[in-house]
């Protein structure tokens, strides 16, 4: 079986552009392995070295990048662009209609970055906005029965463990880790580098680089291990610790805290991201709990 090979580049933000064209065609190649029982629409764009398992369904608007693997009975529909090297396991469903009672007219699509893994029975719904996207970054890992609702945006290297559920328009920053049985309300934001553990119902924003748990959730400490693994220096970790001390302990209002941080702490990228995240929150942020922060470990 021959199909147009597609060259899949990095993740691009087309959330409101309306541009859901398939990845551009290149030379034709033989697709390595499509099971005879799979149903692949002739209009789908399939790159080389793709494996499609038994009973899988690939719709007309789908683009599969180089080296993708689809397990048995996976379903990919709508305008769904799957980056190179993605592995989608048995029974996962991507690109179906969002769970919303008032969808009118044209809908958007799904875009999934290179190297992402989506495990058994996980679901990713397409945007309900015309020209919109549900976006999942590169090298993410969605475990069994994770659910990503319409119009969510996940950064790179995000991990959702078993039965994590995201409402519509949720945003999750790079390298965040959300454990099982966490339900996140629509429009909530989870900051970069967060470690969020459940079970929990999340109804406020979770600020970047924090460890947050409980139900209702509380910020327990900074995610020091995650920051070290991301290459954030001990000096910057110290700046972040001081910034959150001001926010949670020393200030009468959020605006007072942010003004103090801007005046007193060097404005590196990480500190700036905390200030911007807290200032732009529309639902408020979770604050500190009653556990002492862990001591900093020397490098």
pLDDT in tens, 19-37: 554 544 444 455 569 999 9
Q: Give me the phi and psi of 134, to 5 degrees please.
A: -90, 120
Q: Are strands 141-142 and 117-118 parallel, antiparallel or unpaired?
A: parallel
Note if 213 is an active site residue.
no
Delimiting residues of CATH 2.160.10.10 domain(s) in the chain: 2-169
| N-terminal to C-terminal alpha carbon distance within the chain | 54
Domain 2-169: give its CATH code.
2.160.10.10
Domain 227-280 listed as CATH 1.20.1180.10: yes
The CB density around residue 151, as the number of other CB atoms within 10 Å, is 25
Clarify whether 205 is annotated catalytic. no
Find the length of the chain.
Answer: 299
Beta bridge partners of 57: 39, 75
DSSP type of residue 11: -
Catalytic residue from among 168, 191, 193, 198: 168
151 is catalytic: yes
- 274 three-state secondary structure: helix
Tokens of 263: 């005046």
3-state helix, strand, coil in the chain (%, to 5): 15, 30, 55
Residues of the chain with CATH 1.20.1180.10: 227-280
User: pLDDT tens digits, residue range 226-269?
Assistant: 999 999 999 999 999 999 999 998 777 899 999 999 999 998 99
**Average pLDDT of each block of 10 consecutive residues along the chain (299 residues)?**
37 46 48 89 96 98 98 98 99 96 86 99 97 98 99 99 98 98 98 97 98 95 96 97 91 89 95 97 85 44
Compute CA distances 13 → 64, 90, 126, 264, whole Å. Answer: 18, 28, 15, 34
Q: Which of 45, 73, 147, 150 is catalytic?
A: 150
The pTM of the full predicted model, rounded to 2 decimals, is: 0.86
Output the six-digit token pair for 245: 């001390």
Are 6 and 26 contacting, i.e. CB atoms less than 8 angstroms apart? yes
């Amino acid at each position: 079986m021959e199909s147009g090979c597609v060259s899949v580049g990095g993740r691009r933000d087309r959330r409101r552009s309306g541009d859901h064209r398939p990845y551009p065609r290149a030379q034709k190649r033989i697709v390595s392995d499509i099971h005879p029982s799979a149903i692949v629409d002739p209009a789908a764009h399939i790159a080389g070295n793709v494996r499609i398992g038994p009973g899988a369904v690939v719709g007309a608007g789908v683009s599969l990048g180089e080296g993708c693997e689809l397990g048995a009975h996976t379903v990919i529909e709508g305008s769904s662009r799957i980056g190179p090297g993605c592995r989608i396991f048995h029974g996962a469903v991507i690109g179906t209609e969002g769970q919303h009672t008032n969808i009118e007219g044209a809908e958007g699509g799904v875009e999934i970055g290179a190297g992402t893994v989506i495990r058994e029975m996980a679901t990713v719904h397409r945007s309900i906005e015309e020209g919109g996207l549900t976006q999942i970054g590169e090298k993410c890992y969605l475990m069994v029965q994770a659910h990503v609702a319409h119009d969510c945006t996940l950064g790179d290297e995000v991990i959702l463990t078993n039965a994590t559920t995201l409402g519509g328009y949720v945003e999750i920053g790079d390298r965040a880790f959300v454990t099982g049985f966490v339900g996140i309300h629509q429009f909530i934001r989870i900051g970069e580098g967060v470690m969020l553990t459940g079970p929990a119902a999340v109804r406020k924003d979770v600020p970047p680089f924090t460890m947050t748990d409980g139900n209702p959730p509380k910020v327990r400490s900074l995610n020091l291990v995650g920051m070290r693994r991301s290459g954030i220096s001990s000096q910057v970790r110290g700046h972040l610790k001081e910034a959150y001390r001001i926010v949670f302990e020393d200030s009468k209002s959020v605006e007072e805290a942010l003004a103090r941080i801007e005046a007193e702490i060097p404005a590196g990228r990480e500190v700036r991201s905390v200030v911007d995240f807290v200032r732009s929150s529309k639902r408020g942020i979770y604050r500190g709990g009653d556990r002492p922060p862990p001591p900093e470990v020397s490098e």
